[in-house]
Amino acid sequence: MFAAKKRDEIDYDQVDTILGRGTEFKGTISARGTLRIEGRVEGDISVQGDVIISESGRVTADIRARHVTVAGEVEGELDLEGRLEIAPTGKVRGKIRVASLAVSDGGFFLGTCEMGSKDGAEVPGSKTAGESGNLPT
Q: Is residue 105 part of a domain?
A: yes
Q: 3-state DSSP call for residue 73?
A: strand
| Average of per-residue pLDDT values in the chain | 83
Using pLDDT thresholds of 50, 70 and 90, give the confidence band for residue 25: very high
Total number of domains in the chain: 1
Q: Is residue 76 part of a domain?
A: yes
Q: Is residue 110 part of a domain?
A: yes
* pLDDT value, residue 8: 60
Q: Is residue 126 part of a domain?
A: no
Among 130, 128, 94, residue whose Cα is nearest residue 114 = 128
Q: Is residue 50 part of a domain?
A: yes
Q: Is residue 26 part of a domain?
A: yes
Least confident of 3-17, 100-114, 121-135: 121-135
Asked whether residue 7 carries a pLDDT value surpassing 50, the answer given is yes
Q: Is residue 30 part of a domain?
A: yes
- Check if the beta carbon of residue 68 is closer than 8 Å to that of residue 50: yes
Q: Is residue 120 part of a domain?
A: no
| Beta strands in 20-87, from DSSP E residues, in sequence order | 24-31, 34-37, 40-47, 51-53, 58-65, 68-70, 73-75, 78-80, 83-86
Segments forming the whole domain that contains residue 108: 15-115
pLDDT, tens digit (0-9, with 9 covering 90-100), for 66-108: 999 999 999 999 999 999 999 999 999 999 999 999 999 999 9
- Give percent of the chain with pLDDT exceeding 90: 68
